[in-house]
Amino acid sequence: VQLQASGGGLVQAGGSLRLSCAASGSIYSIYTMGWYRQAPGKQRELVAHITSGGSMNYADSVKGRFTISRDNAKDTVYLLMNSLKPEDAAVYYCYASVRTSMLITVPYDYWGQGTQVTVSS
């Protein structure tokens, strides 16, 4: 299973970016998909995740500014980031909890390569 993230870049504070992450490969089913981020010198932190049923969870720091969504037909998760702040700058990693076969009952977490988000003040 491979996850390909895209959409990062440089944006001014107050601007917006939309990240995408597409899963491909041997996929039987995908449960939770989401995004983490890691800034230099800091631990990786959960930004948001969304279940296969559409339930969403956000870090307090991004509530009201970020929106996570997914397209189950395309095995893709999105993160729309509005009102970006300099403290949002980080490498953003997507992940997906995947069952690769109906014989495997416990999903495994796969990770994308990371996409850089830079916010200028």
User: In 3D, which of 111, 90, 70, 106 has the Cα closest to residue 11?
Assistant: 90
Q: What pLDDT is recorded for position 100?
A: 95
Q: Long-range contacts of range 59-66, CB-CB < 8 Å, 24 or more positions apart?
A: 61/87, 62/88
Place of tokens 């953003």: 92
In angstroms, the CA 44 to CA 29 distance is 26
Nearest 5 degrees, angle CA 110-CA 54-CA 112?
A: 20
For residue range 39-89, list pLDDT tens digits in order.
999 999 999 999 999 999 999 999 999 999 999 999 999 999 999 999 999
- What is the pLDDT confidence band of residue 4, given thresholds at 50, 70 and 90? very high
Strands 45-50 and 17-24: unpaired
For residue range 102-116, list pLDDT tens digits in order.
999 999 999 999 999
